[in-house]
Amino acid sequence: MKDHNQNHAAPQSPAFARLQSHLEQAMAYQTALILLEWDNETLAPREAGPYTARVQGTLSGAYQSIMTGDEIRRLLDACQGEELPESARAILREAREELERLECIPPEEYRAYQELVSESTRIWAKAREDNDFEAFAPTLEKIIAYQKKFAAYRAKDGQKLYDVMLDSYEKGFNMEKLDRFFGKLKEELVPFLHRIMESGVEIRDDFLVGDYPEEKQRELAHFLAEYVGFDFDKGVLAVSAHPFTTNLHNHDVRITTHYSDHVDSSLFSVIHESGHGIYELGVDDSLTQTLIGQGASMGMHESQSRFMENIIGRNEAFWVPIYKRLQELFPSQLGEVSRQQFVAAVNKVQPGLIRTEADELCYSLHVLVRYELEKKLVEEDLDVRKLPGLWADYYEQYLGIRPGKDSEGVLQDIHWSQGSLGYFPSYALGSAFAAQMYAWMKKQMDVEACLRSGDIGAIVRVLREHIHRYGKMRESRRLLKDMTGEDFNPDYYIRYLKEKYGALYGVE
Amino acid sequence: MKDHNQNHAAPQSPAFARLQSHLEQAMAYQTALILLEWDNETLAPREAGPYTARVQGTLSGAYQSIMTGDEIRRLLDACQGEELPESARAILREAREELERLECIPPEEYRAYQELVSESTRIWAKAREDNDFEAFAPTLEKIIAYQKKFAAYRAKDGQKLYDVMLDSYEKGFNMEKLDRFFGKLKEELVPFLHRIMESGVEIRDDFLVGDYPEEKQRELAHFLAEYVGFDFDKGVLAVSAHPFTTNLHNHDVRITTHYSDHVDSSLFSVIHESGHGIYELGVDDSLTQTLIGQGASMGMHESQSRFMENIIGRNEAFWVPIYKRLQELFPSQLGEVSRQQFVAAVNKVQPGLIRTEADELCYSLHVLVRYELEKKLVEEDLDVRKLPGLWADYYEQYLGIRPGKDSEGVLQDIHWSQGSLGYFPSYALGSAFAAQMYAWMKKQMDVEACLRSGDIGAIVRVLREHIHRYGKMRESRRLLKDMTGEDFNPDYYIRYLKEKYGALYGVE
């Protein structure tokens, strides 16, 4: 095995070398924290929670005390002005940003906020269960107030608060850019969806639900993860309530799925999470356990998972070499279903109320609703009590359906209860990044031919070459531009969707 | 849920309260370390190893730096002479011992030793695979030299080195005591085993091996763990190469098993590990995540696992309410096998070469071999190259069989390669503690009636009352004496074995 201490990010500078050894310690605490969280989501017994929280508190404290310690400050200053390679400069940039992030909030305020948030997901979950938005509203109000306060601490040069929030998930994508992006989506996709719904085309998908044995689904999940390039020597597949990916470092990346009677649910969640996982596994070994040893941004991460799930996984060519295997695993459910029927079914457009269950076309419209509401909450001081009504109105306007209850509406997502404002847009950006990469890639190589011959590796290699290996060394916009030769351009996304779904439904 | 901060071990003393808060931090690092180790044994991908080791290094360092810090020293001194409750005094005792343990060895020596040990298990594993003791001998020699040096650092008042080692696993059981204990075992059990082997009684056990479906074995494992009292709200059952128990704290206790074509192997390993687990789960909540929040000693732990596995689990009465269930799970293997046949089979005496596969009667003779050899290695400077020969001689003498190769002989156990000298005796002590408890318990209650009626809880409650709840507050000898009214007395163990196996084989 390649020596993991050999690190091209460790240049000749003695100050930087000393800084790296402090940062390595900090990363060790982070790795332990990630493992605790993973364990909590996948395995830990019910009663462990409060004790685990104490352990997490201690480790977070140790992390913060290194990252904001005098030694780090001194070393950061000492490195200033030194001639350093790009990776070292990126590490310095991240360390400085992390230091600023950790120290800009007064500790008492941060502690009070942490206490609020540790309660708030529980309050949200209960409110959702009881379909009672009023029970969550006061908590949400407090969270938004804290988030605005914290954003104000971080804001630079009259930056708007929602821009500060957006920036922490996707650098360089502020409201100005996102208004244009979402504006286009609204203008093009809402009427397009309308035409699809009125096309009269009926796609059969009843066979996707049924008595799919879990053992067989597990076998399929492992097969698919490996098939698309997830490396089980450096990775783990487990089960959790909601699928997710986590990475201790690029030699230990973990994905989860869940199994239900909807076979496509676990199947595509595994391909999706494998996309996240392959990204992390593809980070260059010289960056392992450094501050830049992980994916570039939320949006870039979603681009990789959605590329794999939608562009690759829901492509008919993908199933050419392996659909037979699916039929063999589930002969009584899929034995009589043709590959074409199966692929049409997993691409069926069906506007629904729940974001996480949305099809590829409707997905970004769910995000659009959230973007517009977050903007109002942060920039226009929208009264949270108006959220349920506005939510329903927007859904009706964009997707043509109206939630009957808040648990299927404004209460469906955990994000706001965790204080994540500004996060949602990265889901839609990811899809758009992916479409732009795909358009470029098709000019370089015959992607569908790779899929038909089962050579997913050829596609992954291109993604690794242009995106994965850089980790967090470069920003997502730069990576996208370096790869495709063009700045972010949402037209590719709209064109991709219109071509794909136009063909499926015979509309334009 | 009971507030886990409410801690009767935190008395009025402000110095002690401050000490506790430092110790809590140290325990948090320990908990994270335990989780990393658990994860490593049960789940982590192959390539994670070296990175995990770095994280472990950082966390160990943080733990050591708290436990040997000036603040702890100052607070330990400040608590000296204060009026404190028993649990607080026990915590002080443990903290002081830990401090002495951590600082008695010069750091450079300890680091060199750690490097040796991190290599040595790999060297041992390879030597075992290649059946090549010579390849391991130089490493073993070094390990023993270090262990003797370290024991010399810890030795008090002319204490013998092997006594120091024994003391770290089982306080108060030195060579003088163990010579008497093992002497009796040798004197009584060796000829008894001989009589059994010559009794001509043949017990059929072929049906224990076969095509036992893993799914059904998993179902059985979960059922049995729960049946004997393992609480899945506070515990986890997973799979690992070798079964073990670990506890993050008494609200998160984890056991493992492995599944093979020997149904009794996973079945009794689950009951055994459940015994360990129930012990940890039974520690009083006031001791959670303190230095005394775990089992009293290695031997006491083995007493609880062996009580559950052998005295309870291999008891015919235990199977009265549940044997039918076993037959239902495995109709083609056990449908025609009576409960009596099954119980006889799982108690069959069969001297073998491998300790971990030994039956209840032969087990302590395997330990006897190791005790005598360790004594010679430490106290008589036995040349390690003489080990294989002596090992074979002792096996022939005590068990009547001779290993044909070292992988089935002196190379079979991992312990010495990890530097664990003095550990083995606690396995045999545990069995003897258990038998003494059983003899006493039978005077208090009708144990077999509880088993026949499926009320294992009644038995666990007695163990919890007298042993579990105290955690590490009191030493094992004291616990045993307080429970049974008598100091450790190996006669109970010998009597128990002779009665049980005498009846099964019709010998005396």
Gyration radius of chain B over CA positions = 23
* Cross-chain residue pair A47–B232, CB shorter than 8 Å: no
A226 contact residues in B (CB cutoff 8 A): none
DSSP strand pairing (A245-249 vs A252-257): antiparallel
Nearest Cβ partner for B251 among A35, A51, A236: A51
What is the sign of the dihedral through the CA atoms of A401, A406, A408 and A413?
A: positive
Tokens at residue A471, please?
A: 């980790």
Nearest chain A Cα to B234, which residue? A45
B232 chain-A contacts, CB cut-off 8 A: 45
Predicted pLDDT at B111 = 84
**Residue B336 DSSP one-character state:** T
Residue type, A459: I
Cα–Cα separations (whole angstroms), residue B234 to A46, A390, B168, B252: 6, 43, 29, 5
Are the beta carbons of B425 and B149 closer than 8 angstroms? no
Contacts with B62 from chain A: Cβ below 8 Å: 62
Q: Which residues of B touch A23 (CB under 8 A)?
A: none
- Work out whether strand A252-257 and strand A235-239 pair parallel, antiparallel, or are unpaired: parallel
pLDDT computed for residue A266 by the predictor: 95
**B89's tokens:** 């005094």
Task: State the smallest CA–CA distance between residue B425 and chain A in angstroms.
Answer: 33
Annotated active-site residue in B134, B141, B202, B273: B273
β-strand pairing of B252-257 with B235-239: parallel
Pick the residue from chain A with its C-alpha nearest to B57: A28
Amino acid at B208: L
Those residues of chain B whose CB sits closer than 8 Å to some CB in chain A are 1, 4, 24-25, 28-29, 31-32, 35-36, 39, 43-48, 50-52, 54-55, 57-59, 62, 215, 232-236, 238, 248-249, 251-252, 288-289
And the tokens for A177? 């850019």
How far apart, in whole angstroms, are the C-alpha atoms of residue A323 and residue B253? 43
Q: Which residues of chain B register pLDDT less than 50? A: 1-11
Calpha distance B435→A202 (Å, rounded): 73
User: Among all chains, which residue has been given the structure tokens 């508190």?
Assistant: A57
Mark out chain A residues that contact chain B at CB-CB < 8 A.
1, 4, 24-25, 28-29, 31-32, 35-36, 39, 43-48, 50-52, 54-55, 57-59, 62, 215, 232-236, 238, 248-249, 251-252, 288-289
**Token pair for residue B378?**
């430490």
For chain A, counts of helices (H) and of strands (E): 22, 3
Return the structure tokens found at A356.
Answer: 């996480």
Helical axes B175-197 vs B387-399, angle rounded to 10°: 50
CA angle (B120, B122, B124) in 5-degree steps: 70
C-alpha distance from B47 to closest chain A C-alpha (Å): 5
Q: What are the tens digits of pLDDT across the range B451-470?
A: 999 999 999 999 999 999 99
pLDDT value for B508? 86
At residue A467, what are phi and psi to the nearest 5 degrees? -125, -65
Measured from the Cβ of residue B351, the count of other Cβ atoms closer than 10 Å reads: 19
Question: What's the CA gap between A438 and A452, in Å, rounded?
Answer: 16
Q: Which residue has the tokens 């003489």?
A: B386
Q: What HEC string does A191-245 produce?
A: HHHHHHHCCCCCCCCHHHECCCCHHHHHHHHHHHHHHHCCCCCCEEEEECCCCCE
Q: What is the rounded distance in angstroms from the CA atom of residue A249 to the CA atom of residue A226? A: 19
State whether B252 and A55 contact (CB < 8 Å). Answer: no
CB-closest option in A31, A35, A48 to B251:
A48
3-state secondary structure B231-267: CCCCEEEEECCCCCEEEEECCEEEEEECCCCEHHHHH
- Residue of B50, B62, B252 with shortest CB distance to A48: B252
Interface size, chain A vs chain B, as Cβ–Cβ contacts under 8 Å: 111
- Could you give phi then psi for residue A417, rounded to 5 degrees? -65, -20
Contact A48 B24 (CB under 8 A): no
Structure tokens at A423: 């996060």
Q: How far apart are CA A405 and CA A85, in angstroms?
A: 55
Distances in Å between the Cα of B23 and the Cα atoms of A120, A507, B28, B31, B497 are: 30, 68, 9, 12, 43
Question: What confidence score (pLDDT) does residue A111 get?
Answer: 84
- Looking at residue B9, its pLDDT comes to 45
Q: Which of A488, A475, A481 minimizes the C-alpha distance to A97?
A: A475
Best probe of the A interface among B58, B226, B255, by most A CBs < 10 A, is: B58
Number of CB atoms found within 10 A of residue A448's CB = 14
Would you report the helix, strand and coil content of chain A in percent, each value rounded to 5?
A: 70, 5, 30
Nearest CA in chain B to A50: B4
Contact B51 A234 (CB under 8 A): no
DSSP state of A262: B
> Taking CB atoms and an 8 Å cutoff, what residues of chain A touch B46?
233-234
pLDDT for A508 equals 86
ipTM entry:
0.89
Active-site residue set of A: 273
Rg (CA), chain A: 23
- Residue A330 distance to chain B (closest CA, Å): 20
Taking an 8 Å cut-off on Cβ atoms, the answer to whether B252 and A51 are in contact is yes
Q: B495, exposed or middle or buried, with CB in 10 Å at 0-12, 13-18, 19+?
A: middle
Backbone angles phi, psi at B485, to 5 degrees: 75, 10
Q: Give the Cα separation of B498 and B494 in Å (integer).
A: 6
Distance from CA of B161 to the nearest CA of A (A): 37
Residues of B in contact with A248 (CB under 8 A): 48, 51-52
For A281-291, give one letter per residue: b (16+ CB within 10 A) or e.
bbbbbbbbbbb
Give B112→chain A minimum CA distance, Å.
19
> Is there a contact between B54 and A252 if contact means CB atoms under 8 Å apart?
no
Return the pLDDT at A6. Answer: 41
In one-letter notation, the amino acid at residue A212 is Y
- Rounded-to-integer distance, Cα A317 and Cα A329, Å: 20
Residue B342 CA from chain centroid, whole number? 26
**pLDDT 10s digit of each residue in chain A, 508 long?**
333 344 444 447 899 999 999 999 999 999 999 999 999 889 999 999 888 888 998 999 999 999 999 999 999 999 998 999 999 999 999 999 999 999 998 988 988 998 898 789 889 999 999 999 999 999 999 999 999 999 999 999 899 999 999 999 999 999 999 999 999 999 999 999 999 999 999 999 999 999 999 999 999 999 999 999 999 999 999 999 889 999 999 999 999 999 999 999 999 999 999 999 999 999 999 999 999 999 999 999 999 999 999 999 999 999 999 999 999 999 999 999 999 999 999 999 999 999 999 999 999 999 999 999 999 999 999 999 999 999 999 999 999 999 999 999 999 999 999 999 999 999 999 999 999 999 999 999 999 999 999 999 999 999 999 999 999 999 999 999 999 999 999 999 999 999 999 999 999 8
For the record, the structure tokens of A357 come out as 């269950």
- From the list A96, A91, A102, the residue with the least C-alpha distance to A153 is A102
Sequence-separated (6 or more) residues with CB below 8 Å from residue A81: none
Q: What is the rounded distance in angstroms from the CA atom of residue A277 to the CA atom of residue A299?
A: 15
Mutate to test the interface with B, among A42, A55, A253 (most CBs of B within 10 A): A55
In this prediction, residue A2 carries a pLDDT of: 35
Task: Test B36 with A32 for CB contact under 8 angstroms.
Answer: yes
CB B146 within 8 A of CB B393: no
CB atoms within 10 A of CB B442: 11
Contacting residues of A for B1, CB less than 8 Å apart: 47, 50
Query: pTM to 2 decimals?
Result: 0.91
Interface test with A, best of B231, B252, B256 (most A CBs within 10 A): B252
- Under 8 Å CB-to-CB from A507, ≥6 apart: which residues? A192, A195, A196, A199, A501
Spatial CA neighbour of A193 closest among A402, A364, A316: A364
- Can you read off the two tokens belonging to residue B402? 């001779």
Give residue A114's pLDDT.
85
Residues 6+ apart with CB under 8 A from B222: B232, B237
